[in-house]
């Protein structure tokens, strides 16, 4: 899947009712070795920001989760 297709998948996910974080993380789940369902569960509490506090956009939280997986120094 191309980068543009993944972006469209994230938009489609959001339009289907998933929160911003779920939409972003689930669109890239297969690239990081987990299922769509796992991605939806992992990112569920980040919609409307951390803990639904509306201070940090859920899409940003989702991107940061993926960046951590990409650049983790374990």
pLDDT tens for each residue of 25-67: 999 999 999 999 999 999 998 887 776 777 888 888 898 889 8
pLDDT digits (tens, 9 = 90+) for 2-30: 999 999 999 999 999 999 999 999 999 99
pTM of the model: 0.83
Check residue 47 and give its pLDDT.
82
Check residue 27 and give its pLDDT.
97
Using alpha carbons, select from 55, 22, 21, 52 the residue that is nearest to residue 37: 22
Check residue 73 and give its pLDDT.
61
Domain count, the chain: 1
Tell me which residue range forms the domain holding 41. 3-71
Q: Long-range contacts for 65-74 (Cβ within 8 Å, ≥24 apart)? A: 65/21, 65/25, 66/24, 66/25, 66/28, 66/32, 69/32, 70/32
Check residue 49 and give its pLDDT.
73
């Amino acid at each position: 899947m191309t980068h543009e297709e993944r972006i469209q998948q994230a938009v489609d996910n959001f339009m289907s009712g998933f929160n911003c974080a779920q939409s972003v993380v689930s669109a890239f789940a297969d690239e990081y070795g987990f299922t769509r369902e796992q991605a939806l569960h992992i990112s569920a509490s980040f919609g409307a920001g951390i803990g639904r506090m509306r201070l940090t956009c859920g899409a940003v939280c989702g991107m940061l989760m993926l960046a951590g997986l990409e650049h983790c120094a374990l």
